[in-house]
């Protein structure tokens, strides 16, 4: 994916304006094209004028013949510049990237190109190179574009795609993060695609801290079920949780309704049982069964149910649950208040956990809980 930058088409009237230049009227003529006055020889002028008259037409054979003649005689710097302008428009009309690329290379290198035209030429040349898999050229061209337009969100995002294609995940992450910030600074909406790709880059590069930020940003801006699942699944993968923290992530995933695989219900039930939370494990299994994701008659669900039932009996007979992780106390207390219908009290606990850096990963988890509550999610964790 790369951002679509506006690349204006060059529309020219046929030919040019032929005028004498001083005493050298027989040696050079003046061609006005693209806002520039160009000095060309009479032979170059004749060929370029013939080509200009065919640019807008659909006579491809005639165009090709005129192109061949203009390329044969265009030897001066100004003539080559004029020819490149015509080739660019013809290439645009034909969708001929090879012709466009050659023309853009001339225009980008030419000192005659007007400064306001250069960013558009660089943008178009980078797109052609990227589509062709020529990442070296795309990187070089779009890096130059970024030098000219350092706060352009699309320029930043396009270059991020090149860095990602070249397996530079940290570089791609930095550029795409800057692109999002630049668009926000302009008061423009940021595409959900950018948020999702930022998260994907973190996953590919195993970038933990940027990945956490990307997950938080995605569900904050676009809280769809698909985005919640992507954010929490990749977050879980990046932080490599221990059993206790994995349970708490699974609780949140269940709360927002994005446990969608039978294996996830099975694993959550097993982890809860091992942690001494067999009653909650039974609730999880019942939910998975009611959703048609689990079949209690088949393995391994049948065996997990039996394990949970045994644990419930032991608990009734006086066995104690394993002590919970003290780092998650505020978050778990918030969950308990939420289940009890005490939403305000739950939010207070989640906010306290989210604001305390000492809570580490649980500060992130508290943020996710707050985001889910802001979106009106009901309490379904037990």
Q: How confident is the model at residue 57 (pLDDT cuts 50, 70, 90)?
A: confident
Question: 277 or 382: whose pLDDT is higher?
Answer: 277
The set of residues, in sequence order, having a beta carbon less than 8 Å from that of 228 and lying 6+ positions away, is 219, 253, 256, 257, 258, 372
Give the per-residue pLDDT at 358: 87
Give percent of the chain above pLDDT 90: 80
The alpha carbons of the chain give a radius of gyration, in whole angstroms, of 32
Give the per-residue pLDDT at 63: 94
Write down the pTM of the prediction.
0.79
| pLDDT at 346 exceeding the cut of 80 | yes
Residue 311 CA to its chain's centroid (Å): 46
Give the per-residue pLDDT at 357: 86
Condensed to tens digits (0 to 9), the pLDDT of residues 2-20 reads: 554 433 333 343 344 334 3
Phi and psi at residue 324, in whole multiples of 5°? -75, 160
Please state the domain extents for the chain: 1-114, 241-324, 329-382
CB 193 within 8 A of CB 173: no
Give the per-residue pLDDT at 27: 52
Give the per-residue pLDDT at 317: 74
Give the per-residue pLDDT at 31: 79
Mean pLDDT of 34-53: 89
Residue 31 token pair: 């061609």
The set of residues, in sequence order, having a beta carbon less than 8 Å from that of 181 and lying 6+ positions away, is none
Report the candidate in 377, 126, 123, 164 with the shortest Cα–Cα distance to residue 253. Answer: 377
CB 338 within 8 A of CB 381: yes
DSSP string, 220-264: HH---HHHHHHHHHHHHHHH---HHHHHHHHHHHHHTT----HHH
Burial level of 341, CB count in 10 A (0-12/13-18/19+)? exposed
Condensed to tens digits (0 to 9), the pLDDT of residues 226-268 reads: 999 999 999 999 999 999 999 999 999 999 999 999 999 999 9
Give the per-residue pLDDT at 319: 60
Q: How confident is the model at residue 30 (pLDDT cuts 50, 70, 90)?
A: confident
Per residue, what are the HEC states of 173-209? HHHHHHHHHHHHHCCCCCCHHHHHHHHHHHHHHCCHH
The set of residues, in sequence order, having a beta carbon less than 8 Å from that of 97 and lying 6+ positions away, is 91, 128, 131, 132
Mean pLDDT of 103-119: 95
């Amino acid at each position: 994916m790369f951002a679509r930058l506006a690349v204006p088409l060059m529309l020219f009237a046929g030919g040019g304006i032929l005028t004498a230049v001083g005493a050298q009227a027989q040696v050079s003529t003046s061609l006005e094209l693209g806002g520039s006055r160009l000095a060309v020889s009479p032979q170059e002028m004749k060929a370029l004028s013939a080509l200009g008259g065919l640019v807008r037409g659909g006579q491809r054979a005639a165009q090709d013949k005129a192109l061949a003649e203009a390329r044969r005689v265009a030897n001066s710097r100004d003539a080559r510049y004029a020819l490149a302008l015509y080739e660019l428009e013809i290439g645009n009309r034909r969708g001929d990237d090879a012709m466009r690329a050659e023309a853009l290379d001339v225009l980008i290198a030419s000192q005659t190109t007007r400064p306001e035209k250069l960013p558009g030429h660089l943008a178009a040349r980078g797109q052609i190179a990227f589509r062709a898999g020529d990442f070296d050229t795309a990187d070089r061209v779009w890096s130059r574009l970024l030098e000219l337009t350092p706060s352009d969100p699309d320029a930043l995002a396009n270059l991020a795609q090149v860095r990602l294609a070249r397996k530079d995940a940290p570089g791609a992450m930095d550029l795409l993060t800057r692109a999002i910030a630049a668009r926000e600074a302009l008061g423009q909406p940021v595409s959900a695609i950018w948020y999702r790709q930022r998260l994907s880059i973190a996953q590919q590069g195993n970038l933990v801290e940027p990945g956490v930020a990307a997950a938080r940003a995605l569900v904050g801006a676009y809280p769809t079920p698909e985005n919640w699942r992507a954010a929490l699944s990749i977050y879980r993968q990046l932080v490599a949780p221990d059993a206790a923290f994995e349970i708490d992530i699974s609780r949140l995933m269940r709360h927002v309704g994005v446990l969608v695989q039978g294996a996830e219900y099975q694993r959550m039930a097993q982890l809860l049982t091992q942690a001494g939370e067999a009653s909650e494990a039974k609730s999880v299994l019942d939910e998975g069964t009611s959703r048609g994701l689990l079949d209690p008659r088949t393995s391994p669900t049948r065996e997990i149910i039996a394990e949970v039932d045994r644990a419930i009996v032991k608990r009734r007979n006086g066995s104690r649950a394993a002590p919970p992780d003290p780092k998650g106390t505020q978050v778990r207390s918030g969950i308990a208040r939420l289940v009890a219908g005490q939403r305000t009290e739950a939010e207070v606990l989640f906010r306290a956990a989210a604001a305390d850096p000492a809570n580490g990963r649980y500060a992130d988890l508290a943020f996710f809980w707050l985001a889910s509550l802001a979106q009106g999610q009901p309490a379904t964790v037990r």
